Amino acid sequence: MDCLAHVKQRNDGTWDRHPLKEHLLCVSRITADFAAVFSSREWGRLAGLWHDLGKYQPEFQKYIRFASGFDAHMETVPGRVKHAIAGAMHAAETLVLNSIGENKQAAQRILAGSLGEPYLPYC
């Protein structure tokens, strides 16, 4: 099953599918360009790559297909699946927990502001 970021039905009944990998790469280019203004291109790129990592969860993929009507025959319970926390957790584990001193504080501030402040552990 291809992982999807967004699904939308056109007026003619066909579907626009936005593959998740394509979405993450596109957003990472945009956020890298924004962050380059303050000499943080790589931080911006990572934030863009990681912001929707939770959409790789099988439960989210079932949800997006069912809720949109794209795959309405799927057996799943309608409702929201939280996906935003996964990118923040990955960033925290990858960058914050492996950093020290000023680098650690900078990572916390940047990632809290871009990936989900309530979910980032301040270690």
Task: Give φ, ψ of 115 to 5 degrees.
Answer: -120, -5
Q: Which helix (H) or strand (E) holds 3?
A: none
Give the integer Cα–Cα distance in Å for 76 and 67.
10
- Residue 114: its pLDDT value, please? 56
The predicted-structure confidence for 90-114, as pLDDT tens digits, reads as follows 777 776 666 556 666 666 666 655 5
CA angle 85, 51, 66 (to 5 degrees): 75
- The rounded mean pLDDT for the chain is 76
Residues paired with residue 8 on neighbouring β-strands, in sequence order: 16
The answer to whether 115 touches 88, Cβ cutoff 8 Å, is: yes
Is the whole-model pTM more than 0.75? no
